[in-house]
């Protein structure tokens, strides 16, 4: 959620004329994340988040925005996209596809408890249950084919030891995506900064820019790798929090025997995906204002820890 495309108050107010939301009161940039340009927007009739999609082609946007609308109608804790006067969920602003979603009141949590991890697991399972009724499909653009392409691109910038890890793990993950696991629309990026809490309750799951059709258990593994890492620098899991999240999820959408048996490989795949992404964004960045590239080192440690751990099925 960096600012790559600046939007002035006059430009935004003119664009808002296509909505029945009143005139602009104020807007301010959101200077976190790395993918899109985002602003907080207040109009005479409400509070919203404006997103200008920097990488996503316009023909993919209906998947993301209609998914959010579908989930919101199903009662999942997500921002609802705001339609314009024609019913469209996005149009172009300053040369970028752009849309508005409702702003959810809440705050992110830096140091989650086991109970909060359980609440996130339950919320993610509700999202997956609702997404099973969502008919649109979209190949994961940060899936295995992208891992391999990005790995080749970053090799000149990393050490021999890191290259060896990257080669070993991409070999290990050969065939990922071909196993038979339950799949549907996933969030794809459920880190702590993409969940808003009101007290100890999940108030909102935000930022669907990496949503895609993929394995539900892979989506859960992505969340566990962020929410349940210990404070130690070795990338290990806090077993109490990890168990709370997976059990919370399982109570809402029971995990299959195949999902539980594939769990160690899914954790490794999720770690590889974000290590490679962070290496790519660090060494091959795009120009932009207020940009923030995440440090790849934590996910290198997480990947090493997951690869070294015994390959035991998940117990829930």
pTM, whole model, 2 decimals? 0.93
Q: Does 155 have pLDDT greater than 70?
A: yes
Range of 183's domain?
114-308
Q: Return the pLDDT at 31.
A: 76
Tokens of 130: 């609702």
Average pLDDT over residues 51-64: 89
Q: State whether 138 and 188 are in the same domain.
A: yes
* CATH classification of the domain holding 14: 3.30.200.20
Domain end position, chosen among 102, 124, 153: 102
Residue 314 lies in a domain: no
Calculate the average pLDDT of the chain.
Answer: 94
- The number of domains in the chain is 2
Neighbours of 199 (CB within 10 A): 8
* Tens of pLDDT, residues 282-314: 998 876 544 567 899 999 999 999 999 999 999
Q: Closest Cα to residue 99, out of 73, 66, 122? A: 66
Mean pLDDT of 224-238: 95
- Residue 289's pLDDT is 44
Domain annotation covers residue 211: yes
Any domain includes 108: no
pLDDT, one tens digit per residue, over 108-143 is 999 999 999 999 999 999 999 999 999 999 999 999
Task: Answer yes or no: do 277 and 135 share one domain.
Answer: yes
Domain identity same for 121 and 68: no
Rounded to whole angstroms, the Cα distance separating 276 from 271 reads 9
């Amino acid at each position: 959620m960096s600012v790559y495309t600046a939007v002035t108050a006059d430009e935004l107010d003119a664009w808002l004329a296509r909505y029945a939301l009143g005139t602009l009161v104020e807007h301010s940039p959101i200077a976190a994340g790395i993918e899109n340009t985002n602003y907080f927007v207040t109009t005479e009739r409400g509070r919203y988040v404006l997103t200008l999609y920097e990488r996503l082609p316009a023909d993919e946007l209906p998947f993301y925005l209609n998914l959010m609308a579908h989930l919101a109608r199903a009662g999942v804790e997500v921002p609802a996209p705001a339609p314009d006067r024609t019913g469209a969920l996005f149009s172009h602003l300053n040369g970028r596809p752009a849309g508005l979603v409702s702003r959810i009141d809440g705050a992110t949590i830096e140091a989650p408890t086991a109970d909060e991890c359980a609440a996130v697991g339950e919320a993610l399972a509700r999202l997956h249950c609702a997404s099973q009724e969502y008919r649109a499909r979209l190949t994961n653009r940060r899936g295995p084919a992208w891992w391999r392409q990005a790995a080749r691109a970053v090799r000149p910038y990393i050490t021999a030891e890191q290259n060896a890890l990257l080669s070993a793990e991409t070999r290990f993950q050969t065939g990922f995506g071909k196993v038979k696991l339950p799949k549907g629309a996933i969030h794809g990026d459920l880190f702590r900064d993409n969940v808003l809490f009101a007290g100890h309750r999940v108030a909102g799951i935000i930022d669907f820019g990496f949503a895609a059709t993929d394995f539900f258990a892979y989506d859960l593994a992505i969340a566990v790798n962020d929410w349940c890492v210990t404070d130690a620098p070795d990338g290990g899991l806090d077993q109490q929090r990890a168990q709370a999240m997976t059990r919370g999820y399982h109570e809402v959408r029971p995990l299959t025997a195949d999902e539980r048996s594939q769990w160690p490989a899914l954790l490794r795949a999720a770690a590889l995906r974000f290590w490679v992404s962070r290496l790519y964004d660090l060494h091959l960045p795009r120009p932009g204002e207020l940009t923030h590239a995440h440090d790849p080192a934590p996910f290198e440690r997480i990947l090493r820890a997951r690869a070294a751990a015994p390959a035991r099925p998940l117990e829930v």
